[in-house]
Amino acid sequence: MTSTKLIVGLGNPGLPYAGTRHNVGFEVVEHLALHEGLLFFPSDRLDGYGGPNNFLFARSHVPDVLFVQPLTWMNKSGEAVAPLVEWTGGDISNLFVVYDDLDLEPGKLRIRARGGHGGQNGMRSIINHLSSDCFSRLRVGIGRPETDAARHVLSPFEGAERTAIDNAVAKASEAVLHWLGTGDIDSTMSRFHSRWNLNV
């Protein structure tokens, strides 16, 4: 199963968090599953998987891809992701994580082949559990708060920001599909970054 790709969108589970800034990773994998005509199932429905029952997945077989939403809280995302990586053969080059970023304007996208967590607790957990940061990731900007960051990430998008995020979710989905089709993170970066944003 080493060829299985993992597309993981980060967020918090439950209806109270739907549509909030911290859940934009969930929105991207939901958009991808809808595009591919796939449904999400609980992890105990994943054939052959015996790890923790703490995520939802939608599966495409051509190519073999799992679109994943961890059901842990954001700051424990690694508890869901690390066993899945091990189950697929332990090759973290097959992992692509989508998550929110406070330091980017709402709707802006950044793609990198590796790097630190940048203060994002879900990424911090994944990196800690994998003992590596050598996996691809896509950040979706949610904007810097004027006051409390914790309250900001759990607030919904409104007005023009919601429109920007909807567009970003669609563009992020295109980027993931390009990566899945090519396996080339560099060309994905080149295609989905503006030239003046390459080094951000």
**Active-site amino acid positions:** 22
- Nearby residues of 116 by Cβ (< 8 Å), 6 or more positions away: 123, 127, 133
- Nearby residues of 150 by Cβ (< 8 Å), 6 or more positions away: none
Side chain identity at 17, as an amino acid letter?
A: Y
What is the token pair recorded at 146?
């004027």
Give yes or no for a cis peptide into 52 (omega within 30° of 0). Answer: no
Side chain identity at 97, as an amino acid letter?
A: V
What is each CA distance from 191 to 71, 111, 197, in whole angstroms? 32, 10, 12
